[in-house]
Structure 1
Amino acid sequence: MKICVVVARFSLTGVPLTQIRFARALAARGHDVDLVFGHVGADTLPTHIGAAKLVVLGPSTARGMLLPFCRYLRRARPNIVFSSQDNLNGFVLLAAILTRSRAQISGSSRVNPFFTYSNRLLTRKWVFKQAMRAVMWRADALTCVSDGMVEEYRALFRQPPHVTVYNLVDDAPSRLRIHEPVDHPWFVDKTCPIVVSAGTLSSRKGFADLIAAFARLIADGRDLRLVIFGEGASRADLERQIRDLGLEARVSLPGQITNPLRYFARADVFAMTSYFEGLGNVLIEAMMCGCSLVSTDCPSGPAEILGFGRFGSVVPVGDVAALAKAIAGQIDHPTDPAVLAEGVRRFGEDAVIDRHFALLGLAGRERVVA
């Protein structure tokens, strides 16, 4: 079966990396898979794509991808197109309509819809909502990555068809990467518990709250270290906060790395402090690595990932005192690895792919590629 997995831009972040896993897993099941990106920077080429074939259209925006994707549909004639993120989903559906493509289209939403659509008349987000409603009929499946997001769509659209299909996070190639060697000195020569986090250094990720909570733990006499992987516009502000709190010797911001899993597996607690997330892939990755977990109860997915407290600690958004207490609790009483293994099963290859194909009325496997 010819399958297209399409993403707007490649970066070392959640959606592109998740879709790479998805394309790789589909190819391993024997399908002919094109992994289509609108834009890929010369210095950040996708890796670990398995038997999937990389196709780069060129434009850096979803809107700019419309005509190139129309040409792709006419040339490649895929049986199924898996798209991700609402802006791109809309243009993919429009391209299928314009080309009269017979491909089945499955569009996945990855962010809170209130950041994309609005019920306020004549606003930009309201106009996009009307445009999406006009092409939504062409979709064979529309999915969200959490139950919370499905409920949000029901608040914005009248009887939306959206259903939950989790991201594919846990697969065999990713688990192999857990065992790659580390080079950060705090992990190479580990002398005390380490708290980790990862994501774009931006205000919505709440890393300032995490650093403030960590400062409380240090003030209480705990011997700990904090490592936050990622890069972004808030770096200077976070570095200033670290200096002001006198934590330069205990907090590290190593930047963006290609394989954080190896560090998650050697850390004691992973803390997600976001103000909003679509799902929170990195939280699932840390769970897969056997790391005890703490997360804010932000919309839409983190509390759902943690089974509302079964697989880790959930704290109110922005509550620094509760965050510090939860991190201390997970250090003192780590979550049983068997419980974490149970929690991550929902995000495994078979569960996710079988769910996608069931929604399309198809079998998910052709043959296994050796």
Structure 2
Amino acid sequence: MSEFSVFFVLSRFELGGLERVHLNILPKLIDVGVQAQIVTSYIHSNAESMLEKDTPVRVLGGGRFSFFFRLFCVLRAQQANFIFTSANDIGCFVLLFRRFFWPHSKIIWSQHLSISGPLNASRGFKRFHLLFERWLMRRLLLKADAVIAVSRAVADDISRSVVAHPKLKVILNPVVSDGFTERCSVDVEWPWPDYSVPTVIFVGRLAPVKRVDLLIEAFSKVKSSMDARLLILGDGPEAGKLKRLAGKHDLSKVCSFVGHQDDALPWIQRSDLLVLCSVSEGFGLVLVEAMACGVQVVSTDCPDGPSEVLAGGRFGRLVPTNDICSLAQAIEQSLIAPLVDRAKLQERAADFSVDRAVSQYLEVLETVARQ
């Protein structure tokens, strides 16, 4: 493996699931001798805490167009054995110019989101951009040496929306890593004086796609019939709006916004139920984290990851998107009568271990190297 050099190219490094996946994979590849590094345009200040001091990251800087120019220069000069793409525009760029400028590099296209979901929800210039991007993908994707999808649903969407690639492989996102238990046990500043009241937790970016407003509306219904608390971890453009909505429903004493936390695991561990209420998800890493903690989960049945992660509802209640009443009912049922016992949740979470995913990534590298 020591002869393999690998670039994981990200358009930007922010606080999100995609970045956590790469940080889980990278050290394991390095441990077996792969010369792997992340190449990105910039690192958001909120995400700096995710990086260890020795994490190999190359920051190219610049705006969107200057980033692509600098990426062009790096790929041409370095000629890495493998280039992993993580965004559709980057994938198209790398494949379009590979023949002329980095012909010896193998291109592995990794798909973390559906193609059709964002396209169907888009309007105006955004929709035109995504349509053009899909048009390019239909002409370029078969040139990739391999395609990795993070779920079967995403893989099926690629085949339907773009093209059926003969070397498409599903590798579930790696979530459960070494030191998981120790991370869960770290002390936190719990916003209430005790743990006697059941706590519902949300973890994620406070953005429209996450529909945290739906959760607050549903929780207000739950609160009218039973004692419960709502804990919201994360930050984003809707933070102010959501705090006002919680105030409107008189939830100030039972709903706490604790902002961004470097590690959500100890907060999840101390909660009773995790809720994901998005209108779309590429995967839903936080669902696996909750199951690994033995915590019950409720999720909207949105495209493309949650149903697959929860095995069609076997490991957590699934509700329709944008349905306040169904979400409230599922939350209340889960607090009163847990759907799955702790041991079975943790057993399911083991399917998303870092070691399992890394062994599959290594298998892809070896297979592509022999082509």
TM-score, normalized by length of structure 1?
Answer: 0.88
Equivalent of residue 250 in structure 1, options 248, 254, 275: 254
Could you say what secondary structure the match of 2:304 adopts?
A: coil
Could you say what secondary structure the match of 2:6 adopts?
A: strand
Structure 1 residue 298, shift from structure 2 partner: 0.4
Equivalent of residue 4 in structure 1, options 2, 7, 27: 7
The answer as to whether partners of 1:193 and 1:224 remain within 8 angstroms in 2 is yes
Could you say what secondary structure the match of 2:11 adopts?
A: strand
The answer as to whether partners of 1:69 and 1:92 remain within 8 angstroms in 2 is no
Structure 1 residue 95, shift from structure 2 partner: 4.7
The answer as to whether partners of 1:357 and 1:363 remain within 8 angstroms in 2 is no
Could you say what secondary structure the match of 2:217 adopts?
A: helix
Paired amino acid for 1:210 = L
The verdict on how the C-alpha distance between 1:123 and 1:320 changes in structure 2, with shifts beyond 3 A counting, is closer
Equivalent of residue 208 in structure 1, options 194, 209, 213: 213
User: What are structure 2's unaligned runs of at least 5 residues?
Assistant: none
Equivalent of residue 228 in structure 1, options 228, 232, 237: 232
Could you say what secondary structure the match of 2:50 adopts?
A: coil
Could you say what secondary structure the match of 1:200 adopts?
A: coil
TM-score, normalized by length of structure 2?
Answer: 0.88
Equivalent of residue 190 in structure 1, options 195, 213, 216: 195
Aligned position for 1:71: 73
Structure 1 residue 109, shift from structure 2 partner: 1.3
- Give me the whole-angstrom Cα distance separating, in 1, the residues matched to 2:102 and 2:256: 52
- Give me the whole-angstrom Cα distance separating, in 1, the residues matched to 2:27 and 2:144: 23
- Give me the whole-angstrom Cα distance separating, in 1, the residues matched to 2:63 and 2:350: 34
Identity of aligned residues (%): 28
The verdict on how the C-alpha distance between 1:293 and 1:44 changes in structure 2, with shifts beyond 3 A counting, is closer
Structure 1 residue 76, shift from structure 2 partner: 3.4
Equivalent of residue 19 in structure 2, options 16, 19, 38: 16
For residues 286-331 of structure 1, give each alpha carbon's deviation from its aligned partner in whole angstroms, at most 9, with x where no partner exists.
2222211111100111011011111111111122222122222222
The verdict on how the C-alpha distance between 1:43 and 1:240 changes in structure 2, with shifts beyond 3 A counting, is closer
- Give me the whole-angstrom Cα distance separating, in 2, the residues matched to 1:363 and 1:125: 29
Aligned position for 1:180: 186
Aligned position for 1:367: none
The answer as to whether partners of 2:268 and 2:274 remain within 8 angstroms in 1 is yes
Paired residues, what number? Answer: 359
The verdict on how the C-alpha distance between 1:7 and 1:183 changes in structure 2, with shifts beyond 3 A counting, is same
RMSD of Structure 2 on Structure 1 (CA): 2.5
Aligned position for 2:272: 268
Paired amino acid for 1:219 = S
For residues 87-115 of structure 1, give each alpha carbon's deviation from its aligned partner in whole angstroms, at most 9, with x where no partner exists.
22222333533422422221211222025
Paired amino acid for 1:16 = E
Equivalent of residue 164 in structure 1, options 141, 147, 170: 170
The answer as to whether partners of 2:293 and 2:346 remain within 8 angstroms in 1 is no
For residues 138-192 of structure 1, give each alpha carbon's deviation from its aligned partner in whole angstroms, at most 9, with x where no partner exists.
3111122121122222322243454422111111144432222111333x73231
Could you say what secondary structure the match of 1:108 adopts?
A: strand
Aligned position for 2:312: 308
- Give me the whole-angstrom Cα distance separating, in 2, the residues matched to 1:115 and 1:276: 7
- Give me the whole-angstrom Cα distance separating, in 2, the residues matched to 1:342 and 1:336: 10
Aligned position for 1:36: 39
The verdict on how the C-alpha distance between 1:41 and 1:300 changes in structure 2, with shifts beyond 3 A counting, is closer
Aligned position for 1:106: 108
Structure 1 residue 59, shift from structure 2 partner: 3.1
